[in-house]
Structure formats: structure tokens, C-alpha cells
Amino acid sequence: MFSSIDLSNPWLIGAELNGILVAIAWVIPKKLLTPAGLIHAWILGIIIWGTLGWQGYTIVMFYFLVGSAVTRIGMEQKEAEGIAEKRSGARGPENVWGSALTASICAVGTLFVEQPIEKLLLLGYAANFATKLSDTTASEVGKAYGKRTFLITTLQPVPRGTEGAISLEGTVAGIVASIAIALLSWSVGTIDLLGVIWCVIAAFVATNLESVIGATLQSKLDWMTNEIVNFINTLIGAIVAILLALAWNWFVLSR
């Protein structure tokens, strides 16, 4: 029976690899995920490895590790001010899928389409994580180091950690983060160099629109949690990147 198992099957490799990583994460003292978050991260990891292989997996791991590290910047200060992420930054299931649901849809979608649609879905996948890392970095750096923070809708000064607040420090850090993960996506062959540009622009647009949503709708709608906003944020990032690529292709072909 066991001789018939294909050990090169990417879904089996994904299950084994993520099982090992979850076991390690379970025992290390510094918790990056809650117990439930670990299970959902295991499922996510299998989906990504099974659909996009090590290339796609490298991108999501980079986002997770850098995003977790950024969340812990100035943690004591942010906790004292009451603006830190809950559970000291440990991610739960809602965080896992709020950050990666759009990317997962793009990844699974690549199994059912051919070029050029597959290329667009891969761009959406990369843009998802460029957007989310940009948003996380901008928010956490802004809360820790932002000297002057403004409400994006009115540009009036507001305290750090206010929903919809932006700062120069956070904005610059967010752009740098989106460039880093977009370049990583290019280096593993997920997107081309033009895709890097589309991802960075899309991340900037989506991150600022997320701030607008936070400043206007989030406090008025009980169902619009941070995780729902994160999903909307990444969805916008993926769509904007894909639309930019389509617009560029149309421009080139129409010349």
C-alpha cells in the first residue's frame, strides 16, 4: 500500500513540511501563532505549497516572518499606550485568512486556468502579500515611531494608533516593505520586473484606501472587524495590480 504513495506529490510535501514547522512553532517559547492559528496556518501552507510550490511558499513565509517581527517593534511602548496588537501579536485563524484569503484564491485559481490568466493570478498572489506587508509595516512602524500622525480623510493631527491614521515614517516603511516582498516575488519567478512595479503601486493604493476605510466605515459597522478590513485591503491590492497589468498590456498592444 505504502509503495503506491507518490512521495514527490506537492500536497504531501506541503503537509509534511508544514507539520514539522507547526510542531516547532508549538514548542518554541515566543508564540507567533495561537494554537488555532497554527492549525489554520498549516492548512494555508499546504494550499500554497500544493498549488505554487516552494516559490509561492517562500513569499508567504517571508510575509509571515517579517510581518511578525514588525508587529513586535516597540511592543512594550505600544502595549503601554493601548495600541498594540492583541495577544502580543500572536496570529489567530482570523488573522491568517484575513491576510491570505485573496492570495489563496489566486493560488488555487492557477490550477484551472492557462496563460495569460495564470500570470495575472500569480501577480494577484504577489500583490496580496506586498499589500499586507506594506499595511502591517506602515501601521506598526507608525505606531512605534511616528512623530506626527494624521487622519487620512482630514489630515488633522490624531494620536498614534487611531484607525485611519497615517505618518511619514509609517508610509515610507510600508513602501520599503512592499518593494522588498515584490522583489522577492520576482527573484523566485512568480512575477516579472513590471509586476514588481504593479505590486508596489497597488500596495500603496490599497494601504491608503484601507486607512480611509478605517477612518470612515470601520467604527460605524460592527461586522467590519480588522480582519474583514485586511481581506478587503488585500483584495484591493490584488485587483489594482491586475488592472494595472491589463492596462499596460492594452497600451502596448494599441500603439
pTM: 0.91
Predicted local distance difference test score (pLDDT) of residue 226 = 87
Residue 243 is placed in which grid cell?
A: 488592472
Could you report how far apart the first and last alpha carbons of the chain are, in Å?
A: 60
Residue pLDDT, tens place only, 234-246: 999 999 999 999 9
Taking residues 19-40, what's their average pLDDT? 86
pLDDT above 60 for 2: no
Residue pLDDT, tens place only, 108-120: 999 999 999 999 9
Residue pLDDT, tens place only, 100-146: 999 999 999 999 999 999 999 999 999 999 999 999 999 999 988 88
pLDDT category, 5, cuts 50, 70, 90? low
Check: CB of residue 142 under 8 Å from CB of residue 160.
yes
Residue 175 is placed in which grid cell?
A: 513602501
pLDDT above 90 for 32: no
Residue pLDDT, tens place only, 157-203: 998 878 888 999 999 999 999 999 999 999 999 999 999 999 999 99
**For the chain, domain boundaries:** 2-254
Check: CB of residue 144 under 8 Å from CB of residue 128.
no
Residue 26, judged by CB atoms within 10 A of its CB (0-12, 13-18, 19+), counts as exposed
